[in-house]
C-alpha cells in the first residue's frame, strides 16, 4: 500500500457495549447463551463507545460503524440500540451504528423501523445461530429484510467457514447455507462479515455470482482466520467495490490490523480508497445519516 496521502479510513465493523454492561459482564453471560460462550473468558475484550473512539484516535481511523450484539432477547436489543443511538449522535460523526434485533421474536420488523428512525445505518451484526434462526430455511429474516429493502439499508450478517479451526462464536452460517437466503433476497443489500465465510471463492461459479450482486464482504477478524493474501485473492474475484475494510475491534485491535493491512495486504493504489472508506460510505449510506466524512477531524 502506498504511504503518501493515505485515504480516510472507516472501520466498517466494530462492537461497543454500554459501560455498565462492560462492568457487569457476568450477568450478561448468564442472560444470553451466545454472549456467554464468547465472553465468559475474562481475556475476551469488551469495550464501550468511549474506548472505541480512543482506539480510533490512536489508529487514525476517521469513522467506525459500531454494532451491538446479536441478543436473543428483544429487550436487550432495544436497550443496546438506545445506547448506540445516543453515543453515535453525540460522537460528532465519528460513529455510525447498526441496530440489533431478535429475529426469532415478534416485533423484529418494528424494532428495525425504530432503529432506522433513530439514525441507524442498517441492521447487524445479526447471527443466525445466536438468535435461533435457521438461515437456510425459506422465509428466514423475511420481515426484517422487507423493511431494510424498502428503506435501502443493509443487513450485516455473521458468516463462517465450513472448514478450518473451531472458535467460540463460529456458528453455522456457512456459504452453502447463506445462498438460499441470498437467493430469496436479491434486492436486499447484504454485508457478509468475515469475508463471507469463504463465499467469495465460490463466486468463480457463475451460478453463485448471479446471487451476489447486492452482497459485499467485510474483512472483520481477517488475520484471525486468513493469511494476508486473502485480500488480493478476493479482490481479484469480486472486485474492489465489494470489499469493506473492517477489524471487528476489539476482537482484532484496529490499529494493529490497519498496520498489518498496510504492510502485508497486496492492495493496488486505486483500490485503497474504495476498500478503506468509499465502499462503506456507499453501502451504509453514511452521508445520508450524519455529516459528510470530509468534515470530520481526523486525529494526527
111: Cβ–Cβ under 8 A, 6 or more apart, which residues?
Answer: 74, 77, 78, 81, 99, 101, 102
78 or 158: whose CB is closer to Zn ion?
158
Rounded least distance, CB 221 to Zn ion, Å: 7
The least CB distance from residue 15 to Zn ion, in Å, is: 9
Span of 38-46, 154-162, 202-210, 225-233 interacting with Zn ion by CB under 5 A: 154-162
Which of 19, 79, 3, 4 is closest to 53 using CA atoms? 19
Asked if 193 interacts with Zn ion (CB under 5 A), we say yes
User: Residue 54 class from Cβ within 10 Å (0-12 exposed, 13-18 middle, 19+ buried)?
Assistant: exposed
- The stretch among 98-106, 191-199, 235-243, 271-279 that binds Zn ion (CB under 5 A) is 191-199
Tell me whether residue 9 or residue 130 sits nearer to Zn ion (CB atom). 130
Which of 245/271 has CB closer to Zn ion?
A: 245
What is the DSSP track for 253-290?
-HHHHHHHHHHH----HHHHHIIIIIHHHHHTTHHHHS
- Pairwise CA distance, residues 232 & 216, whole Å: 15
Contact mark string toward Zn ion, 113..152, x via CB under 5 A: ----------------------------------------
For residue 18, which of 84, 107, 104, 63 has the smallest C-alpha distance?
A: 84
For Zn ion, which is the closer residue by CB, 20 or 40? 40
Which residue lies nearest Zn ion, judged by its C-beta?
Answer: 158
Selected range binding Zn ion among 40-48, 146-154, 185-193, 222-230, rule: CB under 5 A: 185-193
- Closer residue to Zn ion, CB minimum distance, 224 or 268: 224
Q: Which is nearer to Zn ion, 93 or 197 (CB)?
A: 197
| DSSP β-ladder status, 243-244 and 215-218 | parallel
Handedness of CA 10, 11, 16, 19 (dihedral sign): negative
Of 153, 158, 189, 249, which one interacts with Zn ion (CB under 5 A)?
158
SS3 label, residue 51:
helix
How near is the Cβ of 198 to Zn ion at its closest, in Å? 14
Residues that bind Zn ion (CB under 5 A): 158, 193
Amino acid at each position: 500500500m502506498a504511504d503518501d496521502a493515505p485515504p480516510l479510513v472507516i472501520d466498517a465493523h466494530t462492537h461497543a457495549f454500554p459501560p455498565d454492561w462492560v462492568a457487569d459482564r457476568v450477568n450478561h453471560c448468564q442472560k444470553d447463551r451466545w454472549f456467554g460462550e464468547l465472553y465468559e473468558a475474562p481475556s475476551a475484550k469488551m469495550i464501550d463507545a468511549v474506548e472505541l473512539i480512543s482506539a480510533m484516535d490512536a489508529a487514525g481511523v476517521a469513522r467506525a460503524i459500531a454494532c451491538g450484539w446479536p441478543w436473543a432477547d428483544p429487550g436487550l436489543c432495544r436497550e443496546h440500540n438506545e445506547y448506540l443511538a445516543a453515543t453515535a449522535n453525540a460522537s460528532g460523526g465519528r460513529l455510525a451504528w447498526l441496530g440489533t434485533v431478535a429475529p426469532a421474536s415478534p416485533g423484529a420488523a418494528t424494532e428495525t423501523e425504530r432503529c432506522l428512525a433513530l439514525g441507524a445505518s442498517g441492521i447487524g451484526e445479526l447471527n443466525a445461530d445466536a438468535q435461533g434462526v435457521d438461515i437456510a430455511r425459506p422465509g428466514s429474516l423475511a420481515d426484517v429484510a422487507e423493511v431494510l429493502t424498502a428503506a435501502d439499508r443493509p443487513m450485516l450478517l455473521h458468516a463462517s467457514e465450513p472448514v478450518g479451526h473451531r472458535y467460540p462464536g463460529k456458528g453455522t452460517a456457512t456459504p452453502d447455507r447463506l445462498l438460499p437466503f441470498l437467493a430469496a433476497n436479491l434486492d436486499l443489500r447484504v454485508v457478509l462479515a468475515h469475508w463471507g465465510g469463504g463465499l467469495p471463492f465460490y463466486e468463480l461459479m457463475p451460478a453463485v455470482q448471479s446471487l451476489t450482486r447486492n452482497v459485499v464482504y467485510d474483512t472483520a477478524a481477517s488475520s484471525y482466520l486468513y493469511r494476508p493474501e486473502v485480500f488480493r485473492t478476493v479482490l481479484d474475484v469480486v472486485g474492489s467495490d465489494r470489499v469493506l475494510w473492517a477489524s471487528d475491534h476489539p476482537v482484532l485491535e484496529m490499529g494493529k490490523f490497519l498496520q498489518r493491512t498496510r504492510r502485508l495486504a497486496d492492495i493496488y493504489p486505486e483500490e485503497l480508497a474504495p476498500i478503506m472508506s468509499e465502499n462503506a460510505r456507499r453501502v451504509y449510506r453514511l452521508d445520508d445519516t450524519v455529516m459528510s466524512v470530509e468534515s470530520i477531524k481526523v486525529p494526527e
